[in-house]
Amino acid sequence: MSLEVKVPAVGESITEVTIAQWLKKDGDRVEMDEVIAELESDKATFELPAEAAGILRIVAQEGDTVDVGAVICKIDQDGAAASAPSAPAAEAAPAAPAPATAAGAGEAVEMKVPTVGESITEVTIASWLKKDGDQVEMDEVIAELESDKATFELPAEAAGTLEIVAQEGDTVEIGGLLCRIVPGAGATKANAQANAKQEAANQAVAAKPAAAAPSGAQTYASGTPSPAAGKILAEKGINASDVQGTGRDGRITKEDAQNAQAKPAAQPAAAPAAKQEAAAPAGDRNQRREKMSSLRKTVARRLVQVKNETAMLTTFNEVDMKPIMDIRAKYKEKFKEVHEVGLGFMSFFTKACTVALKEWPAVNAQIDGNDMVFNDFVDVSIAVSSPKGLVVPVIRNAEQLTLDGIEKEVIRLAKKARDGKLSIEEMTGGTFTITNGGVFGSMMSTPIINAPQSAILGMHNIVQRPVAVNGQVEIRPMMYLALSYDHRIIDGRESVSFLVRVKELLEDPMRLLLGV
């Protein structure tokens, strides 16, 4: 029984595809869902999986342009290589053990995207830690998945051979298929032996006159363009050797060809100097395009949403940092010796905010529909810049922590953020946010509220400036503070009074110890 494999519908506006490469040869045995070819449209490259197990009979050759729905190949499902009347008996023999080999491999375990949070509907494959065809062990981490909130590890659900379905960078919905694991290492070895025998038979066929070989068959090497890419390069007059390929084994893809630029032609030696200067390029003008990560897209969407849906205002003040800097200079060594953690500015600011939030609870509240929700606890979100973007882990019940407790939490959460190991629980539920743009040199800014919270405090860099102190001009280390707030729930009196209270506590740190 022969199954016809047709070009699948790959997009609403795509009517035809080009066969970029056959990954299997005519007469090879293929397994169900095994990728047998790469198809190229004017927009992207797609993989063609086998729709059944059997012997491949290629109809359309590499480089051919085929309409969607047209037959591209056939698969003889009886699994007998001898079904081709012109094939010698010696060529059919190696393929005969294949059905038994496949049967002994065991049923493949399909691994799908697990449920990782109530509000998460899709994830992006950040990286595969194992390659296609590798042996994996039960519970071994094989991939990292990235949502719009955190990064998760994907453990293997069985031991066996890994068959990757979704590639790095792909976005897959919850429940979508990621990979398969074929149990048993022995089956892999048996398949490898069968493939080796089949390859030897294929080489014997290839040694015959060229008329017996498929007319369009070819092998892509590093730096070789696909048919579509070759056509584009020819139109541009660009040599393939001048283009860096990003496809499989260094192959030049259609996108590589579209992005390629011709090298400026060399000017004749006798040309006037003025013409040479006019023809000289004005420097590199390359562009680089990167796909936005799920985290970056979510941050962008939420920031715009906050700007559009809140009545956000910002009030400013300045703080004389000398008292805190004097305390740190005097006690930082002893503090680290006792608590095994450094004494930073963040603990002072966090503690000052927890005190001020208790006095002005609206700043610690949020709007839920037509209700205002007030919290009798303070969960402080700390904005952290990680390699994958801005994340905001939460210090729970910060009002109950001492300075060393806050410092330890800040260090723990910041390390997990840099390593991409923050959990969903560690990044949700904050009631107030602190962000420190001063570490990057920011002098003043208007931070955007971290929804559904109602306020955010922005710290900035410390600058030596002349200020009036008791009627005298002195040089003091000064910092600007900015409080952005939602005017729908926080009035001007509350926002200004909150910021003034924070200023008082920071300029007289003894108040934090005495609670006054």
DSSP bridge partners of 380: 395, 432
Question: Crossing angle for the helix pair 345-359 and 322-339, nearest 10 degrees?
Answer: 110
For residue 212, give both structure tokens: 């017996």
DSSP H or E run through 91: helix 89-92
For residue 408, give both structure tokens: 């330890």
Name the phi and psi angles at 272, rounded to 5.
-60, 150
User: Which residue bears the tokens 């806050």?
Assistant: 406
Q: What is the DSSP letter of 62?
A: T
DSSP bridge partners of 319: 479
Respond yes or no: is residue 379 known to be catalytic: no
For residue 474, give both structure tokens: 């002195």
Q: In 3D, which of 138, 87, 86, 147 has the Cα closest to residue 114? A: 147
Active-site residue, from 78, 139, 170, 487:
487
Q: How far apart are CA 335 and CA 432, in angstroms?
A: 27
Respond yes or no: is residue 491 known to be catalytic: yes
Sheet of 160-164, strand order? 109-112, 177-183, 160-164, 135-136
How many Cβ atoms from other residues are within 10 Å of residue 277's Cβ? 9
Measure CA of the first residue to CA of the last residue in the chain; give whole Å.
88
**DSSP code per residue over 27-52:** T-EE-TT-EEEEEE-SS-EEEEE-SS
Q: What is the DSSP letter of 381?
A: E
Residue positions annotated with a catalytic role: 487, 491
